[in-house]
Amino acid sequence: MRFTTARLCGGKALMAVPSEDLDIDMSAAREVVTSMGGDIVSSDDMMMVYNWNGMETTLYSQGKIMFYPLEDKPLCIRYATETLEKLV
């Protein structure tokens, strides 16, 4: 999966932005996130917030994914790729 950027958001969060918008089925994403060990905090048709791997993670229906706290860009891309490959 290719990303246009992994940018710092708010100082201690990184967001991976796919090079093309995805259309993630958030209902199916809830099942995938749960199977990955994610603890869903809130979810709707546009975004989902869940705790995973010691981070608060936000997944957007367009495929953007933010990890907090995380400041390692290569790790951000790895986590985003691993997550999104399960969803598309």
- For domain 3-85, give the fold: TATA-Binding Protein (3.30.310)
Smallest CA-to-CA distance from 64 within 83, 50, 39 is with: 83
d(CA 18, CA 2): 6
Q: What is the per-residue pLDDT for 21? A: 84
The pLDDT value recorded for residue 2 is 81
Q: Please give the model's pTM, rounded to 2 decimal places.
A: 0.91
Q: Tell me: pLDDT of 4 over 90.
A: no
